[in-house]
Amino acid sequence: MDLNYGSEYEGFRKEVQKFCKKYSGVTITNKKGGALTSLNAVADSDKSNGQKVTRSEWQKILIKNGYFARSIPKEYGGFGGEIDIIKNRIIASEFASSKIPPPMGGQGIDMLVPTLLELGTQEQKEKYIKPTLHGEMIWCQGYSEPNAGSDLASLQTKGELIKGNWVINGQKIWTSTAQYSQMMFCLVRTEPDAPKHAGISYLLIPMDTPGIEIRPLVDMTLHAGFNEVFFTDVTIPETNIVGKRGEGWAVANATLGHERGSLTNPNATMSRLNLLIDRMKEETINGEKIIDNPAYRDRLIKLQGKVMAFQSNALRVLSAKLNKGQDVKMAGMIQKLVGTELRHELEGFGIDIMGELGTLYEDSPNIRDGGSWQFTYMYYLGLIIGGGTSQIQKNIISERGLGMPREPKTQQGA
């Protein structure tokens, strides 16, 4: 066991800390469109009077310093550095404990860019990656449909090749940030006669193409976090395909892991726990501090044990990435399930320690932390369901991890 990253990395950490100090208090003026947009808005609610920058300006500052898009080649707008997991981790943890905006996330950056780097044509890489990294081209993901959720491969949105163009008809749902997006990467059934998984293609659709209609879908947090997107004879060039016809399922799966990994950040969970402890020291009931109440104290430490276990687990997963041949069994496979459930529980406890005050929302008087405990509590219920539900995660753990048998074929339907 050796938890030191080495002196080279301590120097790097100091550099990052210096950067974080320099830009402490920076706020972003137009942050719409990144994933977790509303979450970031809440997190920034204790506004400082720092410098204001646009999303794109901030992205460029980060890239120039190597704190974002580190390993993406310069020719596509990245920093052009070596892949270095430890440096990425140091950046993430220093950013999480500083008052500066994190780099933009979102499906374009987390999912499309890695996909194009791996499977895109030279032209696609040149055209799409740079503006995406700069936050100038926002992407949404067109995967789920009303009748294709956990069983995604049964999707029915149709793409026909007519006179050198794809003509798309159908409907997508749960489309985050569609209303801010310039582009969609989309799974479409282009080979209706092929078996379920082999009939899908991965298409890139400009969102201003005629025939696209976006209807906001307000979620339980009362934010329009999602949309329904309708396609009526939407026509795009034949070349807007990643991979070959009918290979869309494999193209999408090449990067699905990126999404699952990005949903659960142990550093963020730990900083939330520390904030929760601060609140317990401040909040009172009948003049007694919550932290002095034995029932709440016990729940807090119970939660702390879980958070610590999750954080240690992330170190173990990291170790396996750095040390070839280290077998960490199912430590990676459980992260989405455990991370989202844990965060949901933590945020719910944040509500509980405030009791009635914990139910205040929106712009209510007496509200604490801008209502972020309620918001995040609900938001994480969304993440428990999205990106492969907890139940699907349990299927994956039991079938792929423990080698338990799949459901019999007869149960799978047509």
Q: Which residues bind another protein (CB under 8 A)?
A: 1-6, 86, 277, 280-281, 291, 294, 297-298, 300-302, 304-306, 308-310, 312-313, 315-316, 318-319, 322-323, 326, 328-331, 334, 337-338, 391, 393-395, 397-399, 401-408
The minimum distance between CB 102 and another protein, in angstroms, equals 23
Which C-beta is closer to another protein: that of 76 or that of 296? 296
Which C-beta is closer to another protein: that of 8 or that of 46? 8
Which C-beta is closer to another protein: that of 134 or that of 344? 344
The minimum distance between CB 113 and another protein, in angstroms, equals 27
The minimum distance between CB 134 and another protein, in angstroms, equals 32
Which C-beta is closer to another protein: that of 81 or that of 401? 401
Which C-beta is closer to another protein: that of 203 or that of 333? 333
Between β-strands 158-162 and 200-206, what pairing exists: parallel, antiparallel or unpaired? unpaired
The rounded distance, in Å, linking the Cα atoms of 200 and 192 is 9
Which C-beta is closer to another protein: that of 228 or that of 345? 345
The minimum distance between CB 319 and another protein, in angstroms, equals 4
Which C-beta is closer to another protein: that of 142 or that of 266? 266
Between β-strands 226-237 and 212-217, what pairing exists: parallel, antiparallel or unpaired? antiparallel
The minimum distance between CB 297 and another protein, in angstroms, equals 5
Which C-beta is closer to another protein: that of 49 or that of 411? 411
Which C-beta is closer to another protein: that of 5 or that of 180? 5
The minimum distance between CB 326 and another protein, in angstroms, equals 6
The minimum distance between CB 318 and another protein, in angstroms, equals 7
Burial class (CB in 10 A: 0-12, 13-18, 19+), 132: buried
156: Cβ contacts below 8 Å, ≥ 6 apart: 145, 147, 148, 170, 189
Q: At what angle do helices 294-322 and 85-96 cross, to 10 degrees?
A: 160
Which C-beta is closer to another protein: that of 3 or that of 210? 3
Cα 239 to Cα 2, 55, 81, 199, 201, distances in angstroms: 50, 30, 30, 18, 12
Nearest CA-CA partner of 353 in 293, 274, 268: 293
Does residue 201 contact residue 246 with C-beta atoms inside 8 Å?
A: yes
3-state secondary structure of 376: helix
Angle at 358 between CA 354 and CA 364, to 5 degrees: 130
One-letter amino acid identity for 380? Y
Which C-beta is closer to another protein: that of 154 or that of 395? 395
107: Cβ contacts below 8 Å, ≥ 6 apart: 35, 139, 140, 141, 176, 177, 185, 259
The minimum distance between CB 358 and another protein, in angstroms, equals 20
3-state secondary structure of 366: coil
The minimum distance between CB 107 and another protein, in angstroms, equals 26
186: Cβ contacts below 8 Å, ≥ 6 apart: 141, 142, 143, 157, 168, 172, 202, 203, 204, 205
Does residue 350 contact residue 296 with C-beta atoms inside 8 Å?
A: no
The minimum distance between CB 264 and another protein, in angstroms, equals 12
Burial class (CB in 10 A: 0-12, 13-18, 19+), 408: exposed
| Integer Rg of the chain from CA | 22
The minimum distance between CB 408 and another protein, in angstroms, equals 6
